[in-house]
């Protein structure tokens, strides 16, 4: 998750597994929906279905939080909402800055998911002077010259980077220097940060590529029966034939573009 040293050998200080933490927001969302419908209690089975996980996993997850829940009955919805909120730190207010108010930044600024649940857009920041003062989603954009001031005055510890990839690292550096210790990165770059700073990334093209991988596999699967116990038939037995250069730097005059195709993999 974090780029710079996610080490943490085994601090063990009441450690909730990372995988569990990642699911708590899911449970919380499902519970909130139930709460709005005034449902008083849920079983692990029901809640798991609503959250899209299986019930054993859910119970295990909750067991790390403590023994909320009543045997033979289920979980008290309101109580659980509170406990998970507290565990996630949502009972306090988190001011957030969004840097880079282009299409994406504007979309994020207007996104309801911010306003709810303890997150508050403290400021929108952009480097373009033409944007300064312009209200986006009701919040006036501030110039990036004032970044440090904004961060420290509002006590912001969470920053969202929605800038082009080219400037993401320097924006990140400035955020960190100003005191931000958690970063949500939408720019398609690997950010390096010092110890103690968390980075999470959201990357559209990575997600698409993962989908493409599975999609391609589905297409290749068509012929074999789905229950095939040992159906190992590879589409191409000798993959090297198709490849640009079977191996060996030499042979093709030692140069690059080994064969005709040459992917031409240039991103935007």
Partner DNA sequence: CCGTGTGAACGTGTTCACAGCC
Partner DNA sequence: GGCTGTGAACACGTTCACACGG
Please list every residue from 27 through 86 that binds DNA, using CB under 7 A: 42-45, 53-57, 59-60, 62-63, 67-75
Q: How many angstroms separate the CA atoms of 31 and 40, rounded?
A: 10
146 binds its own copies, rule: CB under 8 A: no
The alpha helices in 42-111, defined as continuous H runs, are 44-51, 55-65, 77-88, 103-110
Asked if residue 103 belongs to a known ligand binding site, the reply is: yes
Secondary structure of residue 71 in the 3-state scheme: coil
14 binds its own copies, rule: CB under 8 A: yes
170 touches which of its own copies, DNA, none (CB within 5 to 8 A by kind)?
Answer: none
128 touches which of its own copies, DNA, none (CB within 5 to 8 A by kind)?
Answer: none
SS3 content of the chain, % helix, strand, coil (to 5): 40, 15, 45
Among 134, 145, 155, 211, binds its own copies (CB under 8 A): 211
**Which of 60, 117 has the CB closer to DNA?**
60
CA 242 to each of CA 24, 214, 245, 261: distance values in angstroms, whole numbers, following the listed order: 46, 21, 8, 10
Q: 42, 70 in Cβ contact below 8 A?
A: no
36 touches which of DNA, its own copies, none (CB within 5 to 8 A by kind)?
Answer: its own copies
20 binds DNA, rule: CB under 7 A: yes
Q: How many angstroms separate the CA atoms of 115 and 25, rounded?
A: 15
Among 17, 22, 63, 145, binds its own copies (CB under 8 A): 22
Closest CA to 159 of 143, 176, 145: 176
243 binds its own copies, rule: CB under 8 A: yes
Among 43, 55, 132, 252, binds its own copies (CB under 8 A): 252
267 touches which of its own copies, DNA, none (CB within 5 to 8 A by kind)?
Answer: its own copies
Residues 52-111 that bind its own copies (CB under 8 A): 52, 66, 68, 70, 73, 76-79, 81-83, 85-92, 94, 96, 102-104, 106-108, 110-111
Q: What angle (nearest 5°) sits at the alpha carbon of residue 11, between those of residues 6 and 14?
A: 115
Q: Phi then psi for 179, rounded to 5 degrees?
A: 120, 0
190 binds DNA, rule: CB under 7 A: no
Asked if residue 257 belongs to a known ligand binding site, the reply is: no
37 touches which of its own copies, DNA, none (CB within 5 to 8 A by kind)?
Answer: none
Q: How many angstroms separate the CA atoms of 126 and 147, rounded?
A: 9
- DSSP-derived letter for residue 145 is G
Asked if residue 102 belongs to a known ligand binding site, the reply is: yes
130, HSE (Cβ side, Cα atoms, 13 Å): 1
Closest CA to 111 of 160, 157, 147: 160
Among 113, 138, 166, 237, binds its own copies (CB under 8 A): 113
Interacting residue ranges for DNA, rule: CB under 7 A: 10, 17-20, 42-45, 53-57, 59-60, 62-63, 67-75
Binding residues for NAD(+): 100-105
């Amino acid at each position: 998750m974090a780029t710079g040293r996610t080490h943490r050998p085994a601090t063990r200080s009441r450690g909730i597994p990372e995988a569990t933490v990642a699911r708590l927001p899911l449970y919380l969302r499902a519970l909130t929906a139930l709460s709005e419908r005034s449902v008083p209690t849920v079983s692990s089975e029901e809640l798991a279905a609503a959250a899209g996980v299986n019930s054993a996993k859910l119970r295990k997850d909750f067991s790390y939080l403590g023994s909320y829940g009543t045997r033979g009955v289920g979980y008290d919805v309101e109580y659980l909402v509170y406990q998970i909120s507290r565990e996630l730190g949502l009972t306090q207010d988190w001011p957030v800055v969004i840097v880079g108010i282009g299409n994406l930044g504007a979309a994020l600024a207007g996104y309801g998911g911010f306003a709810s649940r303890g997150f508050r857009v403290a400021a929108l920041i952009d480097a373009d002077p033409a944007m300064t003062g312009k209200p986006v989603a009701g919040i006036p954009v501030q110039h990036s010259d004032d970044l440090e001031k904004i961060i420290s005055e509002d006590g912001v510890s969470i920053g969202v980077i929605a800038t082009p990839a080219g400037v993401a690292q320097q924006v990140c550096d400035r955020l960190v220097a100003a005191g931000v210790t958690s970063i949500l990165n939408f720019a398609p770059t690997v950010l390096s940060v010092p110890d103690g700073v968390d980075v999470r990334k959201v990357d559209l093209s990575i997600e698409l590529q993962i989908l493409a991988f599975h999609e391609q596999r589905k297409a290749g699967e068509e012929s074999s029966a789905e229950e095939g116990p040992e159906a190992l038939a590879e589409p191409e037995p000798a993959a090297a034939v198709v490849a640009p250069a079977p191996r060996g730097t030499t042979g093709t005059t030692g140069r690059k573009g080994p064969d005709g195709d040459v992917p031409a993999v240039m991103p935007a």
